Amino acid sequence: MSIFLLKRLLTLVATLIGASIVVFAVLEVLPGDAAQMLMGPDAEPEAVTAMAQQLGLDQPALTRYWQWIAGLLHGDMGESYVYGSPVTELVWERLAVTVPLAIMAMCITAVLAIAAGVFAAANHKRWGDVGLMGLAQIGIAIPNFWFAILLILLFSVKLQWFSAGGFPGWSEEAGGGFWPALQALLLPAIALAVVQAAILARITRSAVLEVLREDFVRTARAKGLSRGAALWRHVLRNAMIPVVTVMGLQFANLLAGTIVVENVFYLPGLGRLIFQSISNRDVIVVRNCVLLLAAMVVVVNFVVDVLYAAIDPRIKAGDI
């Protein structure tokens, strides 16, 4: 187990280092000088050079890469060109939107998918199963941002239950509060969750069907357990391993999805920050945020791997 952990941990670190190099290198070729961008197109060349010097852009790439990594290790992400404030602060502010959004979406996904998947499997080849799986097939085909727009059309334009976008903030002094903030995140979370839930429901259904065929389920039924009890007590638990694995993989899609969905709802989250910073040529913000997202994906997958190695002793280091 400890060798397995060590191996996975080394891969994790190597992946993160690789990711930082790739992100840095890609952004190096970003056209449009950040200094020129800040000073405007009419700026004097001397002023632009001075600005570049002030930003440290005149130093060789390798030096700047080291400075970035060294800063990161100290929890310092540098300063945004555009906002003029430390990137760490900006990121924390935005994470207060993106992380709750992703968690909400993941919870909705899990509840919808597991309920639908187990129900479909329990009613294998009957109407409930066929209907739900048809719905799932449609759910997979719907782009999340279109679903988001449809939700706005229905709940904001027609029924006027929710506002069409924006985020009031978590603190009551700023005019927001816990419930208003949660309400603002609900539609985006549903939009993100539906597509993922459709995929996960299919996985859950086939995992449950697989386990239902096992001998121990027959034994459980033979000793007098009802169908429902056997399903909850024996089947679900054993079917959870593939489900949890796929949920870990889906987290990456969910995070990427936040970029688009935050744009649909004008939510001030990490995804929108990345998107805006790319158009502003705010390289420092972009590279830190992209690396942060990649790190979140890698860490979540690491946790999933370790967790299910802990849950299922049959999984050994070599299998993963």
Partner 1 sequence: MSRQTDTRASVPNYPTRAFTRAQPQGFGRRALQHRSFVLGALLTTLLIAAALLSFAWTPGSAYEVDMDAALQASSSRHWLGTDAFGRDIASQILVGARASIAVGLIAVGIGLTLGVVLGLVAAARRGWVEEIIMRLADFTFAFPALLSAIMLTAVFGAGMINAIIAIGIFNIPTFARITRASANAIWARDYVLAARACGKSRSAITLQHVLPNIAAVLVVQATIQFALAILAEAALSYLGLGTQPPQPSWGRMLSEAQTLMFQAPLLAVWPGLAIALSVLGLNLLGDGLRDLLDPRLTRER
Interacting residues with partner 1 (CB under 8 A): 15, 18-19, 22-23, 26-27, 29-31, 137-138, 140-143, 145-146, 149-150, 152-153, 157-158, 164, 206, 209, 252-253, 255-257, 259-260, 263-264, 274-275, 278-279, 286, 290, 293-294, 297-298
For partner 1, the closer of residues 10 and 70 by Cβ is: 10
The 3-state secondary structure of 155-180 reads HHHHCCCCCCCCCCCCCCCCCCCHHH
Q: Find the shortest distance in angstroms from Cβ 143 to partner 1.
A: 5
Q: What is the dihedral of CA 92, 294, 150, 152, to 10 degrees?
A: 0
Token pair 């910073």: residue:
277
Contact (CB, 8 A) for 216 and 132: no
For partner 1, the closer of residues 19 and 241 by Cβ is: 19
For partner 1, the closer of residues 35 and 301 by Cβ is: 301
Q: Find the shortest distance in angstroms from Cβ 219 to partner 1.
A: 21
Contact (CB, 8 A) for 259 and 293: no
CA distance 127 to 196: 23
For partner 1, the closer of residues 29 and 73 by Cβ is: 29
For partner 1, the closer of residues 111 and 154 by Cβ is: 154
Contact (CB, 8 A) for 264 and 149: yes
Contact (CB, 8 A) for 251 and 106: yes
**Where would I find the H helices in the chain?**
2-28, 34-39, 45-55, 61-73, 87-122, 127-141, 144-151, 178-212, 215-222, 227-230, 236-264, 270-279, 283-311
For partner 1, the closer of residues 39 and 293 by Cβ is: 293
Q: Supply the angle between the helices 270-279 and 87-122 in degrees, to the nearest 10.
A: 130
Contact (CB, 8 A) for 102 and 251: yes
Contact (CB, 8 A) for 15 and 298: yes
For partner 1, the closer of residues 50 and 140 by Cβ is: 140
CA 267 to chain centre: 15
**Neighbour count for residue 72 (Cβ, 10 Å):** 18
Q: Find the shortest distance in angstroms from Cβ 171 to partner 1.
A: 29
CA distance 253 to 266: 19
Q: Find the shortest distance in angstroms from Cβ 44 to partner 1.
A: 27
For partner 1, the closer of residues 21 and 107 by Cβ is: 21
Stated length of the chain: 320
For partner 1, the closer of residues 140 and 307 by Cβ is: 140
Cα angle 18, 23, 24 (rounded to 5 degrees) comes to 100
